[in-house]
Structure 1
């Protein structure tokens, strides 16, 4: 990704929370003789499933460990476990019009948040894979009024054990990562506030998720603006 200190996103705890909020992942592998292979599956942090087994700090450095699965025969296409894999997590993103800044000259841009996480997959046992699938289903179902869990009934449990054979689970201990979030950090607070308000308003580019992320990233700047306004009043 393009280097720009204004948009640096290198806080491990922040990236973990970013993954929790954006669990849809693109997995990419370069396979010799076949080229690039990409698959798309949901992902979770291992520490959210297996507790302290992984994700603990080593030599003062906190780990990021992902767990996911692929459906057969994707594991053969990726030659899963034999090569490095790039996991791409994308957060809210959207078009930003130059008309929203409140001053000229300006140009259009695209705000976004994305993390590139690299590591070599380790294939899970069938039981570990089932544990991951169980946790994944519970994560998304628990907020519903009538959650359908894999082991809610004997029938569901039997079905879950059948489908696990059609998937291959893996853990990916991240050995390096690069992340950026471009949320108008280089713009004046007044412009940031106008962009956020515009993204929340009805219109062709309404984008509440992006507005919320912008507000989070620019919280200090917006708070300072608010405090200054109160003092002037």
Structure 2
């Protein structure tokens, strides 16, 4: 994935995106071509700081056979995103754009067919997505059904080999253009997550507004203003 320093987030922001938007597309290739499965994944680190993604497949998923032969894959996380229209701007000479936050991790997948690994994966993933709820749900509430369902899944732990992330969130926009985009997004409840991420990525600029009167400049191929 193409990345630039302007749109590259710090590690904490990458971890927060995966925690908040854990559904990833796990893509691999094999003799039959490409395979892709959407899966919620949990990011974890070992004592040495190595990163891993924890998840589970349905045992009936044919991608498991491909991964058994070739365990390399890429996990693609997509956070908030949306089209930004020049129709929202006071300066309508600006170009439209699409803001987004994405993380791509090259991984090596290792499956564990044991029931204990499946239970651990289910518990840990559920704890993550239920955290903070006033009446958080636990897998134990399934009762005896839990142990009848576990044989249908297989857990995996994928070692992260390389991470690339692009958070394109208006860092290259003039302050007045950014403010107009945010005002428009604030009018759409569905875009609240994108607006929050844009504000976080531009917190210092929004606080100072020192560049609000700078003349228009074109965007160069690296994402910076020329």
1:123 Cα offset (Å): 1.4
* Alpha-carbon distance between aligned partners in 1 of 2:21 and 2:144, rounded to the nearest angstrom: 30
Give the aligned CA root-mean-square deviation in angstroms: 2.5
Which residue in 2 is equivalent to 1:210?
194
1:121 Cα offset (Å): 0.8
Aligned residue pair count: 211
Which residue in 2 is equivalent to 1:71?
58
* Alpha-carbon distance between aligned partners in 1 of 2:82 and 2:75, rounded to the nearest angstrom: 21
TM-score normalised per structure 2: 0.83
Does the 8 Å contact 2:71/2:110 carry over to 1? no
* Alpha-carbon distance between aligned partners in 2 of 1:36 and 1:202, rounded to the nearest angstrom: 36
Q: Where do 5+ consecutive residues of structure 1 fail to align?
A: 48-53, 229-233
Does the 8 Å contact 1:94/1:207 carry over to 2? yes
Q: 1:44 to 1:3 in 2, by over 3 A?
A: closer
1:191 Cα offset (Å): 1.7
* Alpha-carbon distance between aligned partners in 2 of 1:83 and 1:117, rounded to the nearest angstrom: 14
Structure that is richer in strand per residue? 2
* Alpha-carbon distance between aligned partners in 2 of 1:172 and 1:23, rounded to the nearest angstrom: 14
Alignment deviations for residues 25-65 of structure 1 (CA, whole Å, 9 cap, x no partner) = 1100011x211000011111235xxxxxx1x44xxxx4321
1:149 Cα offset (Å): 1.4
Mapping for residues 75-154 of structure 1, pairs under 5 Å: 75-80=63-68, 82-124=70-112, 125-152=114-141
Q: What SS does the corresponding residue of 2:139 show, helix, strand or coil?
A: coil
1:41 to 39, 50, 53: 39
* Alpha-carbon distance between aligned partners in 1 of 2:184 and 2:64, rounded to the nearest angstrom: 46
* Alpha-carbon distance between aligned partners in 1 of 2:201 and 2:85, rounded to the nearest angstrom: 19
Alignment deviations for residues 7-32 of structure 1 (CA, whole Å, 9 cap, x no partner) = 223x222211111011111100011x
Alignment deviations for residues 174-209 of structure 1 (CA, whole Å, 9 cap, x no partner) = 110111011111112222122112101149xx5111
2:152 to 166, 169, 191: 166
1:172 Cα offset (Å): 1.1
Does the 8 Å contact 2:67/2:109 carry over to 1? no
Which residue in 2 is equivalent to 1:224?
208
* Alpha-carbon distance between aligned partners in 2 of 1:18 and 1:131, rounded to the nearest angstrom: 23
Q: What SS does the corresponding residue of 1:106 show, helix, strand or coil?
A: coil
Which residue in 2 is equivalent to 1:8?
8
Which residue in 2 is equivalent to 1:51?
none
Alignment deviations for residues 92-146 of structure 1 (CA, whole Å, 9 cap, x no partner) = 0000012334324221111000011011111134212211201222333454454
Which residue in 2 is equivalent to 1:184?
170
